[in-house]
Amino acid sequence: MRGGQDVVEAGGTAIGTTLSSGLQLVFGSASGTTLLSGGIDIVFSGGVASNTNISSGGIEVVSSGGVANGATVNSGAQVTYASASGTVVSNGGIEVVESGGVASATTVNSGGFDVVMAGGTASGTTVNSGGVEVLFGLGQGTILNSGGAEYVEPGSVESGTIVKSGGLDYVFGTASGTTIQGGYEYVGSGGTATDTVIGSGSMQVASGGLTGGAVTFSGGGLLRLDDSVHFGGLVAGFGVPDFIDLADIAFISGTTSVSWQQLTNGANAFGTLTVTDGTPATTARITLLGQYVAGNFHIQNDGAGGTLVTDPPVSATTDANPIALLNTQH
């Protein structure tokens, strides 16, 4: 259909319609619609659009009360104010989840974008290599695969994100319950990451970034603190083969030192790890949950002038360059 208007009334069904510079109004059921340049599909309250193919500048709009299932978006756009499920976005395509909209099980492939506006919700998104999710609203259970990226913007909230090897998570809003499985999480100024688990991979907390709850090591990884002097968070599970990189504490051989004070013992044991280059202004005091032996902490140059902390001492089998580890993640 070119330049025309197709109205699918309540109770009606349209199958396999192709729209180029045309308009489809869906109050009933539309399946397999193809939207080309200038083609627009509007799904109204009570309407259901299934397996829409959106390409070459086509647009699908899901109004409040409408439902879209299984759309494929290539070089086109899907805008939802209601429910969109199973959308696949690739190659210049974009899904926009507006206020009140809910997108579930979206897959974002290379060249695709998923943008969740304030008041919108994305649940169970999978972002693959070259795909990007941008959150201004709420994100839940996102999976970032190798080369996939998520930006958590100021005012937005993400929870339960899994950052797999090669995945990238940039937090300027609030992130809770993130699990890093070989990927990279960056907590920028104004951002807060709560109860992050580093299974492997790396987490970088920039100056002005915050952590809540505890950063928990689980299986090896790197925590980089760009402003460790003002870091007020908790660290749990630190041990072999984990690294804490204090980027702001200069490693000066024979001058930079490490000490440990065990404050409590037993099930709720914790203490203070102090690392200093000899001046009060550049002294970091990190609270570690657990029980440690002062003599087991080891410090060395992190490869960029900062101080790397390990426990117990680095051996030939555990030595690593944390800067190289960071560089492989972003």
The answer as to whether 216 is a domain residue is: no
The answer as to whether 113 is a domain residue is: no
Closest CA to 52 of 8, 9, 10: 8
Tell me the three state secondary structure of residue 285: strand
Tell me the two tokens of residue 264.
Answer: 């409590």
Strand partners, 245: 224, 308
The answer as to whether 229 is a domain residue is: no
This prediction has a pTM of 0.93
How many domains, the chain?
1
Q: From its phi and psi, is residue 328 left (phi > 0), alpha (psi between -120 and 50) or beta?
A: alpha
Instruction: Tell me how far apart the alpha carbons of residues 280 and 67 are, in angstroms, rounded to a whole number.
Output: 60
Calculate the average pLDDT of the chain.
93
Regions of the chain short of the pLDDT cut 70: 1-4, 312-330
pLDDT of residue 315: 43
The answer as to whether 25 is a domain residue is: yes
The answer as to whether 317 is a domain residue is: no
pLDDT of residue 201: 96
One-letter amino acid at 125 equals: T
Instruction: Tell me how far apart the alpha carbons of residues 213 and 234 are, in angstroms, rounded to a whole number.
Output: 7
pLDDT of residue 296: 87
DSSP state of 4: -
Strand-strand pairing, 138-140 and 157-159: parallel
The answer as to whether 312 is a domain residue is: no
The answer as to whether 2 is a domain residue is: yes
The answer as to whether 98 is a domain residue is: no
What is the span of the domain harbouring residue 30?
A: 1-85
